[in-house]
Structure 1
Amino acid sequence: MAGGRSSKVKTQPEVVEPAARVLRRFRVVFNAMRGHFREVEKKAGLAGAQVWALSVVRDRPGIGVGGLAREMDIHQSTASNLLRSLLAGGLVAADREGADRRAVQLHISAKGLKVLDKVPGPFEGVLPNALRQLDARTLASLDRQLGKLIDHIGGDPDAATVPLGQRDPG
Protein backbone atom coordinates (compact mmCIF):
# COMPACT_ATOMS: atom_id res chain seq x y z
CA MET A 1 0.00 0.00 0.00
CA ALA A 2 1.74 3.11 -1.17
CA GLY A 3 1.27 6.23 0.87
CA GLY A 4 -0.84 4.42 3.50
CA ARG A 5 -3.84 4.27 1.22
CA SER A 6 -6.01 1.21 1.00
CA SER A 7 -5.89 -0.75 -2.20
CA LYS A 8 -9.65 -1.20 -2.09
CA VAL A 9 -11.55 0.93 -4.55
CA LYS A 10 -14.39 2.80 -2.96
CA THR A 11 -17.56 2.51 -4.95
CA GLN A 12 -20.65 4.59 -4.76
CA PRO A 13 -23.67 2.84 -3.25
CA GLU A 14 -25.95 1.40 -5.89
CA VAL A 15 -28.93 3.61 -6.57
CA VAL A 16 -32.02 1.47 -6.89
CA GLU A 17 -35.37 2.74 -8.04
CA PRO A 18 -38.17 2.34 -5.48
CA ALA A 19 -40.05 -0.15 -7.71
CA ALA A 20 -36.91 -2.30 -8.09
CA ARG A 21 -36.25 -2.12 -4.34
CA VAL A 22 -39.78 -3.35 -3.59
CA LEU A 23 -39.47 -6.08 -6.22
CA ARG A 24 -36.29 -7.23 -4.51
CA ARG A 25 -38.16 -7.41 -1.20
CA PHE A 26 -40.85 -9.56 -2.81
CA ARG A 27 -38.09 -11.84 -4.08
CA VAL A 28 -36.66 -12.14 -0.57
CA VAL A 29 -40.10 -13.08 0.80
CA PHE A 30 -40.80 -15.51 -2.03
CA ASN A 31 -37.40 -17.18 -1.75
CA ALA A 32 -37.71 -17.52 2.05
CA MET A 33 -41.10 -19.20 1.61
CA ARG A 34 -39.85 -21.43 -1.19
CA GLY A 35 -36.79 -22.46 0.83
CA HIS A 36 -38.92 -23.32 3.85
CA PHE A 37 -41.37 -25.38 1.80
CA ARG A 38 -38.53 -27.19 0.02
CA GLU A 39 -37.07 -28.15 3.39
CA VAL A 40 -40.48 -29.29 4.64
CA GLU A 41 -41.09 -31.38 1.52
CA LYS A 42 -37.60 -32.88 1.69
CA LYS A 43 -38.05 -33.95 5.33
CA ALA A 44 -41.71 -34.94 5.24
CA GLY A 45 -42.28 -36.04 1.66
CA LEU A 46 -45.39 -33.87 1.69
CA ALA A 47 -46.22 -30.43 0.33
CA GLY A 48 -46.15 -27.60 2.86
CA ALA A 49 -49.92 -27.18 2.77
CA GLN A 50 -50.39 -30.87 3.59
CA VAL A 51 -48.05 -30.55 6.57
CA TRP A 52 -49.99 -27.52 7.76
CA ALA A 53 -53.28 -29.44 7.44
CA LEU A 54 -51.75 -32.36 9.34
CA SER A 55 -50.66 -30.04 12.15
CA VAL A 56 -54.16 -28.52 12.37
CA VAL A 57 -55.71 -32.00 12.66
CA ARG A 58 -53.18 -32.82 15.39
CA ASP A 59 -53.93 -29.61 17.31
CA ARG A 60 -57.73 -29.91 16.93
CA PRO A 61 -58.66 -33.57 17.33
CA GLY A 62 -62.10 -34.26 15.89
CA ILE A 63 -62.07 -31.25 13.58
CA GLY A 64 -64.15 -31.60 10.43
CA VAL A 65 -63.34 -30.66 6.86
CA GLY A 66 -65.16 -27.33 7.20
CA GLY A 67 -63.26 -26.53 10.39
CA LEU A 68 -59.98 -27.37 8.70
CA ALA A 69 -60.88 -25.07 5.80
CA ARG A 70 -61.66 -22.23 8.24
CA GLU A 71 -58.42 -22.78 10.20
CA MET A 72 -56.36 -22.64 7.01
CA ASP A 73 -58.49 -19.91 5.40
CA ILE A 74 -59.07 -22.00 2.27
CA HIS A 75 -62.08 -23.27 0.36
CA GLN A 76 -63.69 -26.46 1.69
CA SER A 77 -63.00 -28.30 -1.58
CA THR A 78 -59.31 -27.39 -1.28
CA ALA A 79 -59.28 -28.78 2.28
CA SER A 80 -60.91 -31.98 1.00
CA ASN A 81 -58.23 -32.32 -1.67
CA LEU A 82 -55.46 -31.82 0.90
CA LEU A 83 -57.01 -34.47 3.13
CA ARG A 84 -57.40 -37.03 0.37
CA SER A 85 -53.68 -37.88 0.25
CA LEU A 86 -53.29 -37.63 4.04
CA LEU A 87 -56.09 -40.17 4.47
CA ALA A 88 -54.72 -42.42 1.72
CA GLY A 89 -51.27 -42.31 3.30
CA GLY A 90 -52.59 -43.30 6.71
CA LEU A 91 -51.49 -39.99 8.26
CA VAL A 92 -55.03 -39.01 9.23
CA ALA A 93 -58.08 -41.08 10.15
CA ALA A 94 -61.68 -40.02 9.50
CA ASP A 95 -64.43 -41.21 11.83
CA ARG A 96 -68.17 -40.72 11.75
CA GLU A 97 -69.13 -40.50 15.39
CA GLY A 98 -71.66 -38.57 17.40
CA ALA A 99 -75.21 -37.56 16.65
CA ASP A 100 -74.60 -36.56 13.03
CA ARG A 101 -73.12 -39.59 11.28
CA ARG A 102 -72.73 -37.54 8.09
CA ALA A 103 -70.08 -35.32 9.68
CA VAL A 104 -66.50 -36.57 9.61
CA GLN A 105 -64.17 -36.12 12.57
CA LEU A 106 -60.49 -36.11 11.73
CA HIS A 107 -57.68 -37.45 13.93
CA ILE A 108 -53.96 -37.65 13.33
CA SER A 109 -52.44 -41.13 13.32
CA ALA A 110 -49.18 -42.25 14.93
CA LYS A 111 -47.68 -42.22 11.44
CA GLY A 112 -48.81 -38.61 11.01
CA LEU A 113 -47.23 -37.62 14.32
CA LYS A 114 -43.92 -39.13 13.18
CA VAL A 115 -44.06 -37.03 10.02
CA LEU A 116 -44.59 -33.83 12.01
CA ASP A 117 -41.69 -34.73 14.30
CA LYS A 118 -39.35 -34.63 11.27
CA VAL A 119 -40.50 -31.29 9.92
CA PRO A 120 -39.09 -27.86 10.74
CA GLY A 121 -41.68 -25.34 11.84
CA PRO A 122 -43.58 -23.23 11.45
CA PHE A 123 -45.99 -25.77 10.00
CA GLU A 124 -48.17 -23.14 8.35
CA GLY A 125 -45.13 -21.62 6.65
CA VAL A 126 -42.89 -18.67 7.35
CA LEU A 127 -45.16 -16.00 5.84
CA PRO A 128 -48.36 -16.67 7.84
CA ASN A 129 -46.21 -17.02 10.95
CA ALA A 130 -44.45 -13.70 10.31
CA LEU A 131 -47.72 -11.90 9.50
CA ARG A 132 -49.20 -12.97 12.85
CA GLN A 133 -46.26 -11.29 14.57
CA LEU A 134 -46.93 -7.89 13.01
CA ASP A 135 -48.97 -5.25 14.81
CA ALA A 136 -52.50 -4.36 13.66
CA ARG A 137 -51.47 -1.01 12.15
CA THR A 138 -48.75 -2.58 10.01
CA LEU A 139 -51.11 -5.34 8.86
CA ALA A 140 -53.80 -2.81 7.92
CA SER A 141 -51.26 -0.80 5.90
CA LEU A 142 -49.96 -3.92 4.16
CA ASP A 143 -53.52 -4.98 3.38
CA ARG A 144 -54.33 -1.62 1.76
CA GLN A 145 -51.10 -1.43 -0.21
CA LEU A 146 -51.22 -5.02 -1.42
CA GLY A 147 -54.83 -4.46 -2.43
CA LYS A 148 -53.67 -1.63 -4.69
CA LEU A 149 -50.93 -3.82 -6.14
CA ILE A 150 -53.39 -6.66 -6.80
CA ASP A 151 -55.70 -4.21 -8.58
CA HIS A 152 -52.83 -3.05 -10.82
CA ILE A 153 -51.84 -6.56 -11.83
CA GLY A 154 -55.42 -7.76 -12.25
CA GLY A 155 -54.97 -10.51 -9.67
CA ASP A 156 -57.56 -13.26 -9.40
CA PRO A 157 -59.34 -13.02 -6.00
CA ASP A 158 -60.07 -16.78 -6.16
CA ALA A 159 -56.32 -17.44 -6.01
CA ALA A 160 -56.50 -16.44 -2.34
CA THR A 161 -58.12 -19.78 -1.49
CA VAL A 162 -55.10 -21.82 -2.62
CA PRO A 163 -52.67 -22.25 0.27
CA LEU A 164 -49.01 -21.41 -0.07
CA GLY A 165 -46.83 -24.46 -0.37
CA GLN A 166 -49.41 -26.55 -2.17
CA ARG A 167 -48.04 -28.50 -5.09
CA ASP A 168 -49.34 -27.48 -8.47
CA PRO A 169 -52.14 -29.85 -9.49
CA GLY A 170 -50.84 -32.06 -12.27
Structure 2
Amino acid sequence: MTDPARAADDPGHAPQNPGPRIIYLVKRVELIARAQLDQITREHGLTTLQYTALSVLRAQPGLSAAQLSRRSFVSPQAATEMVGALEAKGMIMREPDAANRRVLRAHLTDAGHTALNACDRGADRIEQQMLRDVAPDDAAALRRALTACASGLGSADGTDALRA
Protein backbone atom coordinates (compact mmCIF):
# COMPACT_ATOMS: atom_id res chain seq x y z
CA MET A 1 0.00 0.00 0.00
CA THR A 2 1.33 3.46 -0.88
CA ASP A 3 1.67 6.13 1.79
CA PRO A 4 -0.36 9.16 0.52
CA ALA A 5 2.11 11.60 2.08
CA ARG A 6 5.00 9.95 0.21
CA ALA A 7 3.01 9.63 -3.00
CA ALA A 8 2.67 13.42 -3.18
CA ASP A 9 6.47 13.73 -3.15
CA ASP A 10 6.96 10.99 -5.77
CA PRO A 11 6.89 12.56 -9.26
CA GLY A 12 6.25 9.14 -10.79
CA HIS A 13 3.05 8.71 -8.81
CA ALA A 14 0.00 10.59 -10.05
CA PRO A 15 -3.05 10.84 -7.80
CA GLN A 16 -6.04 8.86 -9.00
CA ASN A 17 -8.61 10.94 -10.89
CA PRO A 18 -7.35 14.37 -9.76
CA GLY A 19 -9.71 16.16 -12.15
CA PRO A 20 -8.62 18.75 -14.71
CA ARG A 21 -5.58 20.88 -13.94
CA ILE A 22 -6.39 24.30 -12.55
CA ILE A 23 -4.33 25.95 -15.29
CA TYR A 24 -6.48 24.15 -17.87
CA LEU A 25 -9.67 25.38 -16.21
CA VAL A 26 -8.36 28.94 -15.98
CA LYS A 27 -7.48 28.87 -19.68
CA ARG A 28 -10.87 27.42 -20.62
CA VAL A 29 -12.69 30.14 -18.68
CA GLU A 30 -10.40 32.78 -20.21
CA LEU A 31 -11.09 31.61 -23.77
CA ILE A 32 -14.86 31.53 -23.31
CA ALA A 33 -14.99 34.86 -21.47
CA ARG A 34 -12.62 36.47 -23.98
CA ALA A 35 -14.78 35.43 -26.94
CA GLN A 36 -17.84 36.95 -25.27
CA LEU A 37 -15.94 40.10 -24.27
CA ASP A 38 -14.59 40.47 -27.82
CA GLN A 39 -18.17 40.52 -29.08
CA ILE A 40 -19.24 43.13 -26.52
CA THR A 41 -16.30 45.45 -27.14
CA ARG A 42 -16.76 45.12 -30.92
CA GLU A 43 -20.37 46.34 -30.50
CA HIS A 44 -18.94 49.53 -28.97
CA GLY A 45 -16.23 50.07 -31.57
CA LEU A 46 -13.37 48.78 -29.44
CA THR A 47 -11.13 45.77 -29.19
CA THR A 48 -10.76 43.92 -25.92
CA LEU A 49 -7.21 45.28 -25.59
CA GLN A 50 -8.50 48.82 -26.09
CA TYR A 51 -11.13 48.19 -23.42
CA THR A 52 -8.38 46.99 -21.11
CA ALA A 53 -6.35 50.13 -21.79
CA LEU A 54 -9.36 52.37 -21.09
CA SER A 55 -9.97 50.48 -17.84
CA VAL A 56 -6.35 50.99 -16.83
CA LEU A 57 -6.55 54.71 -17.63
CA ARG A 58 -9.71 55.06 -15.56
CA ALA A 59 -7.86 53.56 -12.59
CA GLN A 60 -4.62 55.43 -13.27
CA PRO A 61 -5.15 58.56 -15.37
CA GLY A 62 -2.13 60.22 -16.91
CA LEU A 63 -0.07 57.18 -17.83
CA SER A 64 2.45 57.33 -20.64
CA ALA A 65 2.21 54.84 -23.50
CA ALA A 66 5.09 52.85 -21.97
CA GLN A 67 3.35 52.62 -18.60
CA LEU A 68 0.08 51.75 -20.29
CA SER A 69 1.74 48.94 -22.25
CA ARG A 70 2.98 47.25 -19.07
CA ARG A 71 -0.36 47.55 -17.30
CA SER A 72 -2.38 46.48 -20.36
CA PHE A 73 -0.34 43.34 -21.12
CA VAL A 74 0.87 44.51 -24.55
CA SER A 75 4.25 45.32 -26.06
CA PRO A 76 5.35 48.97 -26.20
CA GLN A 77 4.88 48.92 -30.00
CA ALA A 78 1.33 47.58 -29.68
CA ALA A 79 0.57 50.17 -26.99
CA THR A 80 1.76 52.99 -29.24
CA GLU A 81 -0.58 51.79 -32.00
CA MET A 82 -3.42 51.26 -29.53
CA VAL A 83 -3.00 54.74 -28.00
CA GLY A 84 -3.00 56.24 -31.50
CA ALA A 85 -6.18 54.36 -32.40
CA LEU A 86 -7.92 55.38 -29.16
CA GLU A 87 -6.89 58.98 -29.71
CA ALA A 88 -8.17 58.88 -33.31
CA LYS A 89 -11.51 57.50 -32.04
CA GLY A 90 -11.74 60.37 -29.54
CA MET A 91 -11.62 57.96 -26.58
CA ILE A 92 -8.47 59.46 -25.04
CA MET A 93 -6.52 62.69 -25.22
CA ARG A 94 -2.83 63.11 -24.58
CA GLU A 95 -1.00 66.09 -23.19
CA PRO A 96 2.67 66.72 -22.51
CA ASP A 97 3.97 65.96 -19.03
CA ALA A 98 4.75 69.15 -17.09
CA ALA A 99 8.22 67.91 -16.09
CA ASN A 100 9.18 66.27 -19.40
CA ARG A 101 7.38 67.62 -22.45
CA ARG A 102 8.50 64.63 -24.56
CA VAL A 103 6.32 62.33 -22.43
CA LEU A 104 2.63 62.38 -23.35
CA ARG A 105 0.14 61.59 -20.59
CA ALA A 106 -3.12 59.90 -21.62
CA HIS A 107 -6.54 60.68 -20.15
CA LEU A 108 -10.04 59.44 -20.93
CA THR A 109 -12.40 61.73 -22.80
CA ASP A 110 -16.16 61.79 -22.25
CA ALA A 111 -16.49 59.44 -25.24
CA GLY A 112 -13.93 57.12 -23.65
CA HIS A 113 -15.85 57.07 -20.38
CA THR A 114 -19.10 56.36 -22.23
CA ALA A 115 -17.64 53.45 -24.21
CA LEU A 116 -15.90 52.09 -21.13
CA ASN A 117 -19.10 52.16 -19.07
CA ALA A 118 -21.01 50.39 -21.85
CA CYS A 119 -18.37 47.66 -22.07
CA ASP A 120 -18.32 47.40 -18.28
CA ARG A 121 -22.03 46.58 -18.31
CA GLY A 122 -21.34 43.78 -20.80
CA ALA A 123 -18.42 42.50 -18.73
CA ASP A 124 -20.69 42.54 -15.66
CA ARG A 125 -23.17 40.32 -17.53
CA ILE A 126 -20.40 37.88 -18.46
CA GLU A 127 -19.24 37.68 -14.84
CA GLN A 128 -22.81 37.24 -13.60
CA GLN A 129 -23.34 34.39 -16.05
CA MET A 130 -20.01 32.82 -15.15
CA LEU A 131 -20.74 33.00 -11.41
CA ARG A 132 -24.46 32.16 -11.53
CA ASP A 133 -23.92 28.80 -9.81
CA VAL A 134 -21.26 30.07 -7.41
CA ALA A 135 -22.14 31.26 -3.90
CA PRO A 136 -21.13 34.89 -3.16
CA ASP A 137 -18.64 33.78 -0.49
CA ASP A 138 -17.11 31.32 -2.96
CA ALA A 139 -16.91 34.05 -5.63
CA ALA A 140 -15.08 36.29 -3.17
CA ALA A 141 -12.75 33.42 -2.28
CA LEU A 142 -12.15 32.76 -5.99
CA ARG A 143 -11.24 36.43 -6.54
CA ARG A 144 -8.78 36.31 -3.62
CA ALA A 145 -7.31 33.00 -4.78
CA LEU A 146 -6.83 34.13 -8.39
CA THR A 147 -5.29 37.41 -7.20
CA ALA A 148 -2.88 35.42 -5.03
CA CYS A 149 -2.09 33.09 -7.95
CA ALA A 150 -1.33 36.02 -10.25
CA SER A 151 0.84 37.57 -7.59
CA GLY A 152 2.64 34.29 -7.02
CA LEU A 153 3.44 33.92 -10.70
CA GLY A 154 4.30 37.56 -11.27
CA SER A 155 4.00 39.20 -14.66
CA ALA A 156 5.99 38.42 -17.77
CA ASP A 157 8.06 41.60 -17.54
CA GLY A 158 8.58 41.50 -13.78
CA THR A 159 6.16 44.31 -12.98
CA ASP A 160 3.11 43.94 -10.82
CA ALA A 161 0.39 43.68 -13.45
CA LEU A 162 -2.36 43.84 -10.84
CA ARG A 163 -1.67 47.51 -10.09
CA ALA A 164 -4.21 48.34 -12.77
Same fold (TM over 0.5): yes
User: Counterparts of 1:60 and 1:110 in 2: how far apart (Å)?
Assistant: 16
With over 3 angstroms needed to count, the CA separation of the structure-2 counterparts of 1:98 and 1:45, relative to structure 1, is: same
**In the alignment, what sits opposite 2:8?**
none
Which letter does structure 1 place at the counterpart of 2:145? L
Which residue of 2 is the match for residue 163 of structure 1? none
State how far apart, in whole Å, the 1-side matches of 2:57 and 2:71 are.
Answer: 10
Cα distance in 1 between the residues matched to 2:151 and 2:97: 41
- Residue equivalent to 1:12: none
Match of 1:46 in 2: 46
Instruction: Calculate the TM-score normalised by the size of structure 1.
Output: 0.56
Q: List alignment gaps of at least 5 residues for structure 1.
A: 1-17, 144-156, 158-170
Aligned-residue offset at 1:33: 1.9
Cα deviation for residue 28 of structure 1 reads: 5.0
Could you tell me the TM-score, scaled by structure 2's length? Answer: 0.58
For the residue of structure 2 that corresponds to 1:119, the secondary structure is helix
Alignment-derived partner of residue 94 in structure 2: 94
Rg comparison, structure with higher value: 1
Cα deviation digits, residues 29-49 of structure 1 (max 9, x gap): 42232112212322x221111
Give identity over the alignment, percent: 23
Which residue, out of 145, 148, 154, partners 1:134?
Answer: 145
- Write the deviation string for residues 71-101 of structure 1: whole angstroms up to 9, x where unpaired: 1232211111111110001110011131211
Q: What amino acid is the match of 1:55?
A: S
Give me the whole-angstrom Cα distance separating, in 1, the residues matched to 2:102 and 2:151: 40
Shift of 1:61: 1.7
Aligned equivalents of 1:28, 1:91: Cα separation in 2: 29
Partner of 2:81: 81
Count of aligned residue pairs for this structure pair: 123
1:108 counterpart letter in structure 2: L
Q: Tell me how large the CA RMSD over aligned residues is.
A: 3.6
Q: Which residue of 2 aligns with 1:120?
A: 120
Return the letter of the residue paired with 1:87: E
Larger relative CO (CA 8 A, sep 6+): 1 or 2? 1
